[in-house]
Amino acid sequence: MTPLVRSAGPADTLTRDALAVLQPGFTGTTAPDWLLRRLGEGLVSVGLFGRNVDGPEQLAALTGRLRAERGELIVAIDEEGGDVTRLEVRGGSSFPGNHALGAVDDTALTRAVARELGRRLADCGINLNWAPSADVNSNPGNPVIGVRSFGADPRLVARHTAAYVEGLQSAGVAACTKHFPGHGDTAVDSHHDLPRIAADLPTLQARELVPFRAAIAAGTRAVMSAHILLPALDGEHPATLSPAALHGLLRAPEAEGGLGFDGLIITDGMEMQAISATYGIERGSVLALAAGADALCVGGGLADEDIVLRLRDALVRAVRNGELPEHRLADAAARVRAVAAGNRSAGEGTSQGKAEGPAPAPGIGLTAARRALRLTAAEPYRPLTEPAYVAAFTPLANIAVGDATPWGVAAELARLLPGTETATCTGEAAAAAGTAALVDGLLAAAAGRRLVAVVRDVHRHPWMAGALQSLLAARPDTAVVEMGVPQAPPQGALHIATHGAARVCAQAAAEALTGRGPSPDE
Q: What span, in angstroms and rounded, lies between the C-alpha atoms of 47 and 35?
A: 11
Helix axes 326-342, 305-320, angle to 10 degrees: 140
Beta strand ranges found along 210-322 (DSSP E)? 222-225, 264-267, 296-297
Residue 516 is given by DSSP the state: -
> Can 191 be counted among the known catalytic residues?
yes
Measured distance CA(82)–CA(96) in Å, rounded: 4
Q: Which amino acid is at 496?
A: I
Q: Which of 179, 191, 461, 495 is catalytic?
A: 191
CB burial readout 287-298, b (16+ within 10 A) else e: bbbbbbbbbbbb
Asked if residue 50 lies in contact with residue 59, where contact means CB atoms within 8 angstroms, the answer is no
Check: CB of residue 106 under 8 Å from CB of residue 150. Answer: no
Distance CA 175, CA 264 (A): 10
Contact status, residue 36 vs residue 69, Cβ threshold 8 Å: yes
Closest-CA residue to 464 (of 390, 389, 376, 395): 395
Q: Is 440 a catalytic residue?
A: no
| CA 414/CA 342 separation, integer angstroms | 46
- Burial group, residue 362, by CB count within 10 angstroms (0-12, 13-18, 19+): exposed
Q: Point out the catalytic residue in the list 17, 185, 234, 268.
A: 268
Strand order in the sheet with 374-376: 374-376, 494-497, 479-482, 451-455, 389-394, 421-426
C-alpha R_g of the chain: 23
In angstroms, rounded to a whole number, what is the distance separating the alpha carbons of residues 411 and 429?
Answer: 22
Give the residue numbers annotated as catalytic, written as ranges: 191, 268
